[in-house]
Amino acid sequence: MSHPCLRCGACCATFRVSFHWSEAQPHNPDGPAAELVMPLRRHELAMRGTEGSHPRCVGLRGSIGVDGHCGIYPNRPSVCREVEPSWEFGRHSAQCDKGRIRHGLKPLTPEDWAMQPVSLPGVDQVAVETAPLPEVDDLPPAYGFGAPSPEPGSPLA
Ligand code: SF4
Ligand code: SF4
């Protein structure tokens, strides 16, 4: 059984994905390629495809809920790295649940992670422990993966 994020991709087609300009190439060679991002606001970029009312990140590959997955996984921006799949680390994720529900998928449950092997690219197969971890702060308010993409006609700001 593959990691749920390798057969989902729902959050990549639900939210506007914005981040500081310094995260992208050429400023950051490990960040998303310049042609995959667009200016959003002063100091901010967004992943192309995530700014409209029917967002789908340009980096998303496959079909949502079937084989949807990030096609630029090693270069994804920080906000993408901070989105936790629900219950992978012993707690639910509002962003994960919202994305999956928007695309007609059931939210993940703790049972989805029982001895779930991790098969993300570049990661050895290991068993995931489901013990709770300490709470972490929310994403910074200025950038994030948390704002749903605006409805048609709404300003981005
Ligand atoms: S974080 Fe949740 S919504 Fe996003 S790809 Fe993974 S399982 Fe799907
Ligand atoms: S960069 Fe990858 S993880 Fe981030 S929204 Fe796009 S497809 Fe999803």
Segment 58-67 long-range contacts (CB within 8 Å, at least 24 positions apart): 59/12, 59/32, 60/9, 60/12, 60/13, 61/9, 62/9, 63/9, 64/8, 64/9, 64/10, 64/13, 64/103, 64/105, 65/7, 65/8, 65/9, 65/10, 65/103, 65/104, 65/105, 66/7, 67/6, 67/7
**Ligand 2 atom 4: residue of nearest CA:** 80
Q: Which residue numbers in the chain have pLDDT < 70? A: 1, 115-157
Q: What is the pLDDT of residue 138?
A: 42
pLDDT for the residue numbered 2 = 87
pLDDT for the residue numbered 134: 38
Query: Quick one: pLDDT at residue 135?
Result: 42
- What pLDDT is stored for residue 142 in this prediction? 43
Give 18 Cα–ligand 2 centroid separation in angstroms: 11
Cβ–ligand 1 contact at 59 (below 6 Å): no
Distance 46 CA to ligand 2 centre (A): 11
Ligand 2 atom closest to the Cα of residue 36 is 1
Query: Is 60 near ligand 1, meaning CB less than 6 Å away?
Result: no
Per-residue pLDDT, 115: 63
5 lines ligand 1 (CB under 6 A): yes
In this prediction, residue 83 carries a pLDDT of 97
Expressed in angstroms and rounded, the spacing between residue 62 Cα and the centre of ligand 2 is 12
